[in-house]
Amino acid sequence: MPEPILTAVATALATKAAQGLYELVKRKFSSDKKAVATLEAATPDKPETVTALAERLDAAGREDPAFAAALRTEFEVHQDARSGGVTNHVGTVAEGGKVVQLRDVHGDINL
């Protein structure tokens, strides 16, 4: 039986609301047609499909600890974003470039 967190991850994946999480899992499962089918079939309306996905995630995580860690990290990012936290992913910034992170700005901003 998968850990409860994996069932929560599978539920988030089934709703298709966690795009980064979904893409991470889809990449991991890309070489396994049955695993991809399990991911795509998962829907909150059918709990057995969520359980099947959680079991696939559990197996994949046991085989690949780096994937298990990435999955948990991405799920935490998703949970933070849902709870009103700010999540930023900054790519490469050119030399001399600037990155500004803000939250709850009320009024004008001049840079």
Which of 75, 102, 98, 106 has the alpha carbon at shortest distance from 88?
102
Predicted pLDDT at 34: 96
pLDDT reading at 86 higher than 70: no
Instruction: Locate the domains of the chain by residue range.
Output: 4-82
pLDDT reading at 84 higher than 60: no
pTM confidence score: 0.67
User: Which stretch of 9-18, 31-40, 101-110 has the lowest confidence by average pLDDT?
Assistant: 101-110
Which tokens go with 47?
Answer: 């709990």
Q: Contact, 44 vs 10, CB < 8 A?
A: no
* Residue of 9 and 26 predicted with greater confidence: 26
User: CB within 8 A of 29, min separation 6: which ones?
Assistant: 35, 36, 38, 39, 56, 60
Q: At what angle do helices 19-29 and 4-14 cross, to 10 degrees?
A: 100
Predicted pLDDT at 32: 95
Q: Taking the chain, what is the end-to-end CA distance rounded to the nearest angstrom?
A: 53
Predicted pLDDT at 9: 84
HSE on the CB side for 36, CA within 13 Å? 9
* Residue of 107 and 26 predicted with greater confidence: 26
